[in-house]
Amino acid sequence: MKLITLFCAVSLLTACQGRPNHNFTVNGNIKNWHDSINLFKIEAKENIGRLFLDKSSVDKSGNFIFNINANDENIYILQWGPTDETCVMFINDHSNITIKGNAEDKTSFTIKNSPASNIFLEILKYINDEHRALYQLQHKRDSLNTYATNTNHRMGNIYNPQITKLQIRTKNRLLQYYNTTENPTLQYIVLSIVLNFKGISLEEETVINLDEKEIKELINQSVKKYPANKYIQQLPKELAKIEAYTKRLNPSAIVATTQKLPSFSLPNTEGKTVNIDEFKGKYFLLDFWASWCGPCRQENPYLVKAFNRFKNKNFTIVGVSLDDNKDAWLNAITKDNLTWTHLSDLKGWESQAAQSFHINSIPFNLLVDPQGNIIASELRGEMLEQKLEEILK
């Protein structure tokens, strides 16, 4: 799991209406920093990015000041070092804002005269804390499951209820932030965080678990509430980008967008090239796995059980390995008693099949009918047998 740190690099569109004059002064003190500091604004354009506004010197005591003319309320970045960790973000919801902290400890920074900024930082801190808690639970679960030889012995799964509880708690807290603020900048921040996690949810469990319908409802609510705010009005476009990206990355999208299984050829265990079209005329499970993949190996007993039960009923399995070591691949096939056809070009994640199907995580599988149509995907555990019971009566 990749731990997401939400700080200055977060991509947010920001701006709102409210205070008629948004000109402001930001002054403060940064301890242990005697070089100049920069002020940026997050631009709300097609390509989100930072707009450099001004540079301020820092006196011997660490004091600085900026006087900024602004037409809107936006998110700004005060940056004193070369990385995204050496910055603090704030919202210009007041005409005179004070920022103080220690350059060597980002968590030390405080912001005065800016209620929206403090809520903003509170939201980011909450999400980061919950994300770290999720990581710890996942690490405990995955550590116990890694060496399980039988899917029925996944002791680490005792942590799944805690993970679900954490996701529900985080979701409810974010919705509380969203529903209790009348500041469209803060509403946008919440929705931007939601969209950010939506975009990475294909690769890993995330701390925020809102489905597409819920996200669309929230976006529609904001769009309707702030019809004159061009930044809020861009939210549907941002969601559309995420959805397009999701379809491009998610192998499951193949089921919806390409009903026919794309043709490809790979070497088998003896080095002979096999075309996947050779399996037309049968139901077959196209299973992407690897010898080094713990979750894949944990799924193999289910595959063996389903294969032995239905192999005489016009069903087979075709394994596509993302291994890069032939001995490890062949040993895993033998050890797990996988007696069906196996294919691999031994290129790991650079495998032709992995590239063609946009595979970014395994195990992953597709169930194909005798005509070459994809009829199901992601059949884990007992789900494969249950599906085969339906179609191979």
Does residue 35 sit in the same domain as residue 155?
Answer: yes
Smallest CA-to-CA distance from 98 within 54, 139, 66 is with 66
pTM recorded for the entire structure:
0.59
Q: Compute the distance between CA of residue 175 and CA of residue 198 in angstroms, rounded to an integer.
A: 15
The pLDDT of 85-105, averaged and rounded, is 91
Tokens representing 68 are: 């900024």
* Alpha-carbon distances of 378 from 285, 296, 367, 384, 388, rounded to whole Å: 10, 12, 9, 9, 14
* Contact between 121 and 111 (Cβ < 8 Å): yes
Would you tell me the crossing angle of helices 383-391 and 294-310 to the nearest 10 degrees? 30
State whether 30 and 114 are in the same domain: yes
Answer with the one of 232, 249, 266 that is the final residue of a domain.
249
257 pLDDT more than 50 = no
Query: Buried b vs exposed e over 251-290: b needs ≥16 C-beta within 10 Å?
Result: bbbbbeeeeebeebebeeeeeeebebeebeeebbbbbbbb
Q: Are 14 and 74 in contact (CB under 8 A)?
A: yes
Sequence-ordered list of residues with C-beta below 8 angstroms from that of 237, at least 6 positions apart, any chain: none
Helix (H, G, I), strand (E, B) or coil at 302: helix
Q: What is the pLDDT of residues 113-158, one digit of tens each?
A: 999 999 999 998 999 899 889 888 888 887 777 665 554 456 777 8
CA angle, 125 then 127 then 133, to 5°? 105
Q: Tell me the average pLDDT across 358-382.
A: 85
216 has a pLDDT exceeding 50: yes
Give the model's pLDDT for residue 362.
83
* 118 and 77, same domain (yes or no): yes
Domain of 238, CATH number, reads 2.60.40.10
Query: Which CATH number characterizes residue 273's domain?
Result: 3.40.30.10
Decide if pLDDT at 370 tops 50: yes
- In this structure, the number of other CB atoms found within 10 A of the CB of residue 220 comes to 12
Greatest mean pLDDT range, 155-159, 247-251, 265-269:
265-269
Phi, psi of 145 (to 5 degrees): -80, -20
pLDDT, greater one: 349 or 312: 312
**Where in the sequence is the domain holding 327, given as residue range(s)?**
256-391
Q: Which of 134, 123, 38, 133 is nearest to 87 (CA)?
A: 38
At 134 the pLDDT is: 87
More confident residue, 391 or 253: 391
pLDDT band at 48 (very low <50, low <70, confident <90, very high): low
Please check whether residues 260 and 224 belong to one and the same domain: no
Per-residue confidence (pLDDT) for residue 1, from 0 to 100? 38
3-state SS class at 81 = coil
Are 78 and 37 members of one domain?
yes
Q: 157 and 63, same structural domain? A: yes
Q: What angle do CA 131, 146, 289 make, to 5 degrees?
A: 100
Among 89-103, 119-133, 170-184, 376-390, name the one with the lowest average pLDDT.
376-390
- Single-letter amino acid code for the residue at 256: A
Same structural domain, 155 and 295: no
Task: Find where tokens 């705010």 sit.
Answer: 229
Burial degree of 357 (CB within 10 A; 0-12, 13-18, 19+): buried
Q: What backbone phi and psi angles, to 5 degrees, belong to 3?
A: -75, 120
> Are the beta carbons of 352 and 345 closer than 8 angstroms?
yes
Domain end: 249, 279, 313, which one?
Answer: 249
Domain count of the fold of the chain: 2
**pLDDT confidence of residue 120:** 93
Residue 359 has pLDDT above 90, yes or no: no
* pLDDT computed for residue 393 by the predictor: 74
Per-residue pLDDT at 17 exceeds 60: no
* Of 142-146, 233-237, 250-254, minimum mean pLDDT range: 250-254
Are β-strands 37-43 and 49-56 bridged in parallel, bridged antiparallel, or unpaired? antiparallel
Q: Are 194 and 212 contacting, i.e. CB atoms less than 8 angstroms apart? A: no
Looking at the fold, whether 181 and 302 belong to one and the same domain comes out as no
In sequence order, what are the beta bridge partners of 315? 283
Look at residue 256 and tell me whether its pLDDT is greater than 50.
Answer: no
Q: Please check whether residues 312 and 211 belong to one and the same domain.
A: no
Rounded average pLDDT over 260-270: 91
284 vs 286: CA distance, rounded Å: 6
Whether residues 50 and 5 fall in one domain: yes
Query: DSSP characters for 150-217?
Result: SGGG-GGGGGHHHHHHHHHHHHHHHHHHHHH---HHHHHHHHHHHHHHHHHTTTS--S----HHHHHH
Residues 241 and 270 in one domain: no
β-pair partners for 364: 288
Domain termination site, one of 216, 249, 282:
249
Same domain, 147 and 215: yes
